[in-house]
């Protein structure tokens, strides 16, 4: 059975790891390895360990960077580290970051999910974190089991969390 690594943080204010695991378990037959670390800058080496020491074929690295300038810099550093691990291991790591100031989500988004939450409210942010984690879990399933399905979506303006942007023309 294929093994999926879940690297997440205690800093995040929503249990995105649990959402990802729930979505993976519901839709595929995979083994889960979970590894929680303090912050997003600890995710690169945690992901590397999931791949090299625990045999994961793919990893989801989930985190919630804060809104301050320094938090954005941390996210940048973490992202570069996550890319480096992918190159060192030739293995995909799907980065699932929700920024605390992604505040556009709100009542306009509620049609599909029934969520009613003011843009930027904690409830709206939790909704976004949950949905982005789940939609990226779906990406992981496609990458592991249905590469043709993802190939058919090339250039179609997919988004994770928010609604798809769709193709330009």
* Burial of 67: CB neighbours in 10 Å, binned 0-12, 13-18, 19+: exposed
Query: Candidates 23-31, 107-115, 146-154 — which segment interacts with its own copies by CB under 8 A?
Result: 146-154
Binding status of residue 52 toward its own copies by CB under 8 A: yes
Per-residue binding string, its own copies, 105-134, x by CB under 8 A, is -----------------xx-xx--x-----
Q: How far is the CB of 111 from its own copies (least distance, A)?
A: 21
State phi, psi for 70 to the nearest 5 degrees.
Answer: -65, -35
Binding status of residue 103 toward its own copies by CB under 8 A: no
Binding status of residue 141 toward its own copies by CB under 8 A: no
Binding status of residue 25 toward its own copies by CB under 8 A: no
Binding status of residue 162 toward its own copies by CB under 8 A: no
Binding status of residue 88 toward its own copies by CB under 8 A: yes
The helix (H) or strand (E) run that includes residue 26 is: helix 16-27
Beta bridge partners of 9: 37
Using CA atoms, how far apart are residues 30 and 34, in angstroms rounded to an integer?
13
Q: How far is the CB of 44 from its own copies (least distance, A)?
A: 6
Query: Candidates 7-15, 23-31, 108-116 — which segment interacts with its own copies by CB under 8 A?
Result: 7-15
Binding status of residue 14 toward its own copies by CB under 8 A: yes
Using CB under 8 A, which residues numbered 61 to 80 contact its own copies? 70, 72-80
Using CA atoms, how far apart are residues 47 and 91, in angstroms rounded to an integer?
10
End-to-end C-alpha distance for the chain, whole angstroms: 41
**What ranges in 69-168 are assigned the alpha helix state H?**
69-89, 110-113, 122-145, 147-151
Nearer Cβ to its own copies, position 26 or 146?
146
Using CA atoms, how far apart are residues 48 and 139, in angstroms rounded to an integer?
20
């Amino acid at each position: 059975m294929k093994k999926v690594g879940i690297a997440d943080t205690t800093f995040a204010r929503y249990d995105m790891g649990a959402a990802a695991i729930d979505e993976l378990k519901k839709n595929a037959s995979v083994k889960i390895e979970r590894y929680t670390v303090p912050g997003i800058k600890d995710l690169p080496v945690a992901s590397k360990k999931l791949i090299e020491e625990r045999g994961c074929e793919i990893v989801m690295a989930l985190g919630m960077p804060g809104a301050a300038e320094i938090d954005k810099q941390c996210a940048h550093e973490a992202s570069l580290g996550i890319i480096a691990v992918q190159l060192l291991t030739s293995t995909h790591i799907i980065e699932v970051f929700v920024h605390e100031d992604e505040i556009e989500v709100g009542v306009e988004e509620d049609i599909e999910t029934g969520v009613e939450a003011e843009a930027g409210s904690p409830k709206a942010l939790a909704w976004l974190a949950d949905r982005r984690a789940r939609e990226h879990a779906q990406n992981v399933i496609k990458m592991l089991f249905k590469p043709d399905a993802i190939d058919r979506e090339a250039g179609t303006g997919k988004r994770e969390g928010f609604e798809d942007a769709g193709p330009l023309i």
